[in-house]
């Protein structure tokens, strides 16, 4: 464990809003301190794994048959086994072609308040970005399915990028619209804002306040893999929908992320796409 915890912070990366990428994953550190351990609680030494994802060395958690990266992103076994030789080819394969994300909605969700929030999130993406979320039938060759997690909490999760067959955005019944937008961001390839290469120019990570076994969720990634060959898009924005909460994975109730001056700040994930996130998405998916 000590060896893992002392590993260099810059591991290799895939994307955050500010980091380009095309993937989807699970989200538990997406929400605040009451819920941000949902997928990774009770982590033991044997749960922590080192592997390669998109040509980068990563630390992830293997729990209940899931490969959980950065607390809220699911990596498939096939992706971990992939021998990456051409990053650009992988980027193209994982990005949604023709700027179109095909989706289905579980029958369990239909005609519920969660269904209404999903529709609102889709309208937000379709009206403000170059992407078009398009509903298809379950017999479509490739799509992402909105499914209920079965929990009454406020979390969500997702698999990474466009993949053949059906993949998932798993949602708690009470997930707020802002966190739903966050999960859909993972689906199209946005990674967490705090893993950008330039993040230390804007915020400080309070490593001493982070729960044991969760430090790897705050690693910086040195090349953002699959979006546009390792380019941070635009400027870092601590209010991005892809940002961690300021107390994510706190072991003592104190902030794990603060301003450069050491002061805490208020993070308000909005129920709409902010302009810097829109700009990042449109640069990733140009017309």
**Is 186 annotated as ligand-binding?**
yes
Q: For residue range 203-256, what is the model confidence (pLDDT) as tens digits?
A: 999 999 999 889 999 998 754 444 444 457 778 899 999 999 999 999 999 999
Domains of the chain, earliest start first: 7-284 (3.40.390.10)
Whole-model pTM: value is 0.82
| 135 catalytic per annotation | no
**Is 182 annotated as ligand-binding?**
yes
Confidence category of residue 12, pLDDT binned at 50, 70, 90: very low
Write the secondary structure of the chain as one string of H (helix), E (strand) and C (coil). Answer: CHHHHCCCCECCECCCCCECCCCCCCECCCCCCCCCCCCCCCCCHHHEEEEEECCEEEEEEEECCEEEECCCEEECHHHHHCCCCCHHHHHHHHCCHHHEEEEEECCCCCCCHHHHHHHHHHHHHHHHCCCEEEECCCCCCEEEEEEECCCCCCCEEEECCCCCEEEEEEECCCCCHHHHHHHHHHHCCCCCHHHCCCHHHCEEECHHHECCCCHHHHCECCCECCCCCCCECCCCCCCCCCCCCCCCCECCCCCCEEECCCCCCCCCCCCCCCHHHHHHHHHHCCC
Among 42-46, 97-101, 260-264, where is mean pLDDT lowest? 42-46
What local confidence, expressed as pLDDT, does residue 38 receive?
46
pLDDT at 122 over 90: yes
What local confidence, expressed as pLDDT, does residue 80 receive?
81
Q: Which of 37, 124, 183, 193 is catalytic?
A: 183
Q: For residue range 17-45, what is the model confidence (pLDDT) as tens digits?
A: 544 443 333 334 454 544 444 444 556 66
pLDDT at 132 over 90: yes
pLDDT at 92 over 70: no
What local confidence, expressed as pLDDT, does residue 27 receive?
37
């Amino acid at each position: 464990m000590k060896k893992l915890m002392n590993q260099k912070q810059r591991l290799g990366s895939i994307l955050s809003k500010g980091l380009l990428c095309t993937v989807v994953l699970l989200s538990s550190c997406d929400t605040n301190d009451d819920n941000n351990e949902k997928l990774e609680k009770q982590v033991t030494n044997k749960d922590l794994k080192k592997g390669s994802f998109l040509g980068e060395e990563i630390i992830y958690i293997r729990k209940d048959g899931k490969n959980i990266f950065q607390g809220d992103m699911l990596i498939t076994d096939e992706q971990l086994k992939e021998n990456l030789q051409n990053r650009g080819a992988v980027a193209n394969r994982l990005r949604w072609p023709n700027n179109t994300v095909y989706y289905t909605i579980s029958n369990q969700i239909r005609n519920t308040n969660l269904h209404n929030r999903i529709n609102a999130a889709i309208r937000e993406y379709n009206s403000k970005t170059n992407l078009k979320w398009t509903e298809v039938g379950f017999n479509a060759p490739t799509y992402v399915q909105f499914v209920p997690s079965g929990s009454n909490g406020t979390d969500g999760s997702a698999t990474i990028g466009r993949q053949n067959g059906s993949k998932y955005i798993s949602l708690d019944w009470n997930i707020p619209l802002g966190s739903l937008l966050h999960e859909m961001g993972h689906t199209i390839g946005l990674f967490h804002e705090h893993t950008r290469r330039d993040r230390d120019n804007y915020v400080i990570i309070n490593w001493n306040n982070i729960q044991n076994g969760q430090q790897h969720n705050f690693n910086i990634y040195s090349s953002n893999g699959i979006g546009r060959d390792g380019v941070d898009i635009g400027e870092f924005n601590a209010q991005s929908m892809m940002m961690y909460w300021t107390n994510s994975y706190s072991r003592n109730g104190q902030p794990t992320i603060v301003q450069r001056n050491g002061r805490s700040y208020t993070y308000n994930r909005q129920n709409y796409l902010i302009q810097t996130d829109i700009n990042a998405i449109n640069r990733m998916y140009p017309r």
